[in-house]
Amino acid sequence: MYVVGVTGGIGSGKTAATDFLARLGITIVDADQASRIVVEPGQPALHAIVDRFGERILQEDGTLNRRALRDIVFSNDQARRELEAITHPAIGDQLRRQIQDSDSDYTVLVSPLLLEGRQKDMTHRVLVVDVPGEIQVARTVNRDQVPMEQVEAIMRAQLSREERLALAHDVVTNDGPLERLHQQLEQLHQRYLELARRHGG
């Protein structure tokens, strides 16, 4: 299976990009969704998180209080690393299963942390959705109703824009109308279909 990794900083528009590719019939494997699956009640990763961070990160119904956990780990690098040591292996297993189950011409693996860890090893090519930092902050504050300081902390935990672009095979810019993003993606979609055909022999 030919896998294109899609990434970008918070608020860059990864979902807008992958929604368009999904409409073209491409399977989207989403690391954010996988990260939610592995911390559902009853999952081993959730038990390990509670053991490390305590019952305070649970809601009354036993589900993970993601905001409470985020408040802890994005102000404490050691806590973030400990959380990642619990969740990243479980997320990787979940992503590999979903990629294996895909039956589209190629598969997209979308992840905000694609380039920070080992997830890029599952891909053949990397597409970065790029926007200036000030647009990232404005979009995320507006979308998630969180303080600007928290958004900036999340951005610091991710690769810099320059580092991300240096690792990209392909880049689309998403600082204008959606139609322009879609035009860029349509061209890349045709290229990926050809690369996938060659990959399949």
pLDDT (average), residues 67-93: 91
102 is in an annotated binding site: no
Asked whether the beta carbons of 162 and 133 are under 8 A apart, the reply is: no
Residue 57 has pLDDT above 70, yes or no: yes
State the virtual CA torsion across 85, 91, 97, 98 in degrees, nearest 10: -160
Residue 13 has pLDDT above 60, yes or no: yes
Domain that holds residue 129: 1-26+104-201
13 is in an annotated binding site: yes
Instruction: Supply the CATH number for residue 129's domain.
Output: 3.40.50.300
Query: What's the domain count of the chain?
Result: 2
Confidence of residue 201 (pLDDT cuts 50, 70, 90): low
Interatomic CA distance for residues 29 and 200, integer angstroms: 20
14 is in an annotated binding site: yes
15 is in an annotated binding site: yes
174 with 115, same domain? yes
pLDDT digits (tens, 9 = 90+) for 122-180: 999 999 999 987 877 777 777 877 778 877 877 777 888 899 999 999 999 999 999 99
pLDDT digits (tens, 9 = 90+) for 22-49: 999 999 999 999 999 999 999 999 999 9
48 with 137, same domain? no
12 is in an annotated binding site: yes
The overall average pLDDT reported for the chain is 92
